[in-house]
Amino acid sequence: MIIEIDSELHLELLNESHAQEIFELTERNRSYLDKWLPWVKYTKSKEDTLVFIKNSTEQYKNKTGMQTVIKYENKITGLIGLVEISYVRYVSEIGYWLGEEYTGKGIMTKSCKALTDHTFDNFNVKRINIICDVNNTASQNVPARVGYFNQGILKRDSYLNGEYIDHYHFVMRRHEWEK
């Protein structure tokens, strides 16, 4: 499954053939990513990346999630995906990251817009959430640029690197997106 964005950029359903390249990208960006993402310190080998890919593949089969690699000029630059899909609450959540060397080009903004389109077209959800650390301005700028609404702060919403984190809660609802 491929989501075409433009001549240089597309999203590709995550599979085991991506493991080596994703692990190498994670290794190169360990200190950059670890500040924001809880899984980085637990990803110590290619086998850890493979476990994540296998779990994601299982989720995709059950239609409870979907992870894609972001390919820019045919290189993997990061990941974006639906970390959960609930058909009880009709809601999904997008998560994402890029290698630092690929930031500043609009890659994530375009990918987020394309995945939002794909999600409303292919899954029976009414709302997509994006949850960003209140100190992570680069991450907040992505849903803001795509047109998501900032619903406010979720206080002490998670625990990362020894402290509680407040999050901004961005949302897009189906009827607002269709306008």
Binding site for ligand COA (CB under 6 A): 33, 36-37, 96-98, 103-109, 132, 136, 138-139, 142
Q: Least CB distance from residue 61 to ligand COA, whole Å?
A: 25
Pick the closer one to ligand COA by CB: 62 or 74.
Answer: 74
Q: Least CB distance from residue 167 to ligand COA, whole Å?
A: 8
Pick the closer one to ligand COA by CB: 87 or 164.
Answer: 164
Pick the closer one to ligand COA by CB: 36 or 177.
Answer: 36
Q: Least CB distance from residue 91 to ligand COA, whole Å?
A: 17
Q: For residues 133 and 72, give the distance between their C-alpha atoms in angstroms, rounded to a whole number.
A: 26
At 153, the amino acid letter reads I
Q: Least CB distance from residue 55 to ligand COA, whole Å?
A: 19
Pick the closer one to ligand COA by CB: 45 or 135.
Answer: 135
Pick the closer one to ligand COA by CB: 25 or 62.
Answer: 25
Q: Least CB distance from residue 27 to ligand COA, whole Å?
A: 15
